[in-house]
Amino acid sequence: MMFASYQYFQAFLILSFLLPIFSNAHPCSESFQQETAKKGIVNCKKKTLGAEFGWKYSNYTRKLEILFGAKIDGEVGWLAWGLNPGKEPQMVGTRALIGIKLENSTLSDKYNITRYTKLGCQLLPSEIDLEVHNFSFSQGEATEFYMIHATLVLSSEYNDSSLNIVWQVGNAADGNRPITHPMNIHNFDSKETIDLIYGTVLSVETHKLHRLRKIHGILNIMGWGTLLPLGAIIARYFKKFPFQYPNWFCLHVSCQSLGYTLGTCGWILGMWLGNASNHSTFPTHRTLGIIIFTFTTLQMLALRLKPLRSDDYRVYWNMYHHFLGYSLFAIISVNIFLGISILSTRDHTWKWAYIGLLCLLGLTALLLEIFTWIKFWYIKNKEFFAKLLLLCLSNSNQAQGSTSGSKTVPQPDSCPCLASTSQPNADDEYENVVIKAEVLPVESEIEVGILS
């Protein structure tokens, strides 16, 4: 119990560390605010895809003035902003105002987005069931923003206290035909339902979704990507050889349990996120996530269900446990890279941070592995020389005995976390610390402290 509450305390610490991510202010950038100020527009918020949206609404005249801007990096690109009179904010059914930037000119027109557009049919200008005045598309005077400016008069078809807004940024166009936007997660996030009168967002806010995705990433990178491998390193190198750390089992189980807990929280969040953005499922990431969760759960059950050391198939069980563990690390890192590629477009911070983490873990394991082998050969030779010495000098063993003592193997009961949980297995784990062929390429078992 004590161990469990310690775990939750740790999880709590980590989560409270993450809470600042939940802060909720997204005012527009300085330069975009200058543009809105010129037009007397007061409401302004940052949106996904680097877009910013300013609006002014009068619920008496039902006039909605909008200024929608985003940067277009390439020679060619387009911006779209529209309203959907349907039940939910989505691409199909949107009445869109689209501004297209071509090499030497800009175009702007109205487009009716249908399900054929989604299927890949050409999108051509058409009439839309929306009263639009003073529609223009141009680059701001003092900014890099390209901006759609228009005044709409909302018919009764549009509910001003729950208005479905959809926007998009694309990077290719053929004359007045915008070409399909990139299929990045942010391009699927670009829609929301807002209350024009109070300026509140009624749908799940895309910023919130984005934050939740980051939290999902952090939880899974920490849990599955860091703590689980760390626990495996502890089990492999600190059990008895090359280092004999008395509390290794406690540490191993702590790492795995905390890692599993964080990873599972992240996984649940991930599944929820997958369902929340139903237009953008990422099947590979999702499937790998489910596989990882299933098999890490199996590995965790292994703590309780593993066969006794005396059982014949214990050696096969060990092989299975280790093989599954190493395969899982491979799948986990692939899936983390996949997740990072979904999450971020231009910013490579996450990718490099995770590569750094992988290198750190890999380097640690590699150094410990090299050290294991050096120590192994050293002990082999020491045994040989010691036997020689024993023949000559019967006194020499005293000095050796003080540095390495196999008699002082501590009892696992000294680990508080195990006292109440899995005594029989822990005991058996301790008996099993003699290095087997599975770790080192020798048939014989090594007795550390052979001279004492």
Q: State the minimum distance, in angstroms, from the CB of residue 275 to ligand NAG.
A: 22
Asked if 114 is part of the footprint of ligand NAG (rule: CB under 6 A), the reply reads yes
- Residue 182 CB contacts under 8 Å (≥ 6 apart), including other chains: 170, 171
Q: Does residue 285 have a known ligand-binding role?
A: yes
Q: What residue type is assigned to position 133 of the chain?
A: H
In the complex with ligand NAG, which residue's Cβ is closer, 199 or 401?
Answer: 199
Residue 43: strand pairing partners: 55
Which residue, 153 or 353, has its beta carbon nearer to ligand NAG?
153
252 is in an annotated binding site: yes
User: Rounded to whole angstroms, how far apart are CA atoms 207 and 151?
Assistant: 26
| Residue 104 near ligand NAG by CB under 6 A | yes
Residue 197 binds ligand NAG, judged by CB under 6 A: yes
**To the nearest whole angstrom, how small is the minimum distance from the Cβ of residue 140 to ligand NAG?**
17
The answer to whether the CB of 163 falls within 8 A of the CB of 193 is: yes
Residue 127 binds ligand NAG (CB under 6 A): yes
Instruction: Give SS3 for 57.
Output: strand
315, containing H or E segment:
helix 314-343
| Bond into 178 cis (ω within 30) | no
Question: What minimum distance in Å lies between the beta carbon of 331 and ligand NAG?
Answer: 42
For residue 357, what are the contacts with CB-CB under 8 A and spacing of at least 6?
A: 221, 225, 226
Pairing of the two strands 63-71 and 145-153: antiparallel
C-beta of residue 79 within 8 angstroms of C-beta of residue 172:
no
Binding status of residue 59 toward ligand NAG by CB under 6 A: yes
Overall size of the chain counted in residues: 452
321 is in an annotated binding site: yes
Window contacting ligand NAG (CB under 6 A); options: 17-25, 121-129, 219-227, 308-316: 121-129
Region from 123-131, 169-177, 254-262, 358-366 binding ligand NAG, contact rule CB under 6 A:
123-131
Pick the stretch among 122-130, 142-150, 347-355, 396-404 that binds ligand NAG (CB under 6 A).
Answer: 122-130
Which residue type sits at 267? W
Query: Is the Cβ of residue 108 or residue 425 nearer to ligand NAG in the bound state?
Result: 108
Numbered residues of the known binding site for heme b: 216, 252, 285, 321
Contact residues toward ligand NAG (CB under 6 A) are: 59-60, 93, 103-104, 112, 114, 126-129, 133-134, 151, 159, 161-162, 197
